[in-house]
Structure 1
């Protein structure tokens, strides 16, 4: 189960990133967060951009509204979806678990 939090009306959750995969996708729940495979390598912030792009597509929101608020240099990241509440994000995230 993914632990969703809300910060100032925005959904916040933990992501475990696995860079250099064959394709970018959400793999499922992992230790209270989501595990994602990212095609990009963790070089020059490419994996972080790929992670934001993935959640932008999944939630159908502009890329500018997806933020990595902590863990930009780590595989464990905290992602915030600006303008989406945790209540609205829960069904989308649960569909991947």
Structure 2
């Protein structure tokens, strides 16, 4: 099982979210998920909104092309990136490590 899969042109990621972090970044694997740190607190949907904005910027798409498919109220989330324009450098390194295994 991998933390990502392609479905046609869409990238689906299994994420483990760490809210209230000092920085926003992709920081490796957490079990079967990609760990993502974000600055936003996990209250009133702020973390989900911030995650959507962070992922949109990272993948070069509009916020409407980032869909949280499951895990709205959990740290474990499945996120769909609709037709990503780019793959973030930190994530592309992870993908290369995963594919080599």
* Unmatched tracts of structure 2, length 5 or more: none
* Unmatched tracts of structure 1, length 5 or more: none
TM-score, normalised to structure 2, is 0.77
Higher normalized contact order (CA 8 Å, seq sep 6+, divided by chain length) = 1
1:93 to 91, 94, 101: 91
CA positional deviation for 1:27: 1.2
Q: Secondary structure of the equivalent of 2:17?
A: strand
Name 1:29's counterpart in structure 2: 29
Q: Distance in 1 between matches of 2:34 and 2:12?
A: 11
8 A Cα contact 2:26 2:90, kept in partner: no
**Cα RMSD (Å):** 2.6
Structure number with greater Rg is 2
CA positional deviation for 1:84: 3.4
CA positional deviation for 1:91: 7.5
Name 1:16's counterpart in structure 2: 16
Q: Distance in 2 between matches of 1:80 and 1:13?
A: 6
CA positional deviation for 1:93: 2.4
Aligned residues: 95
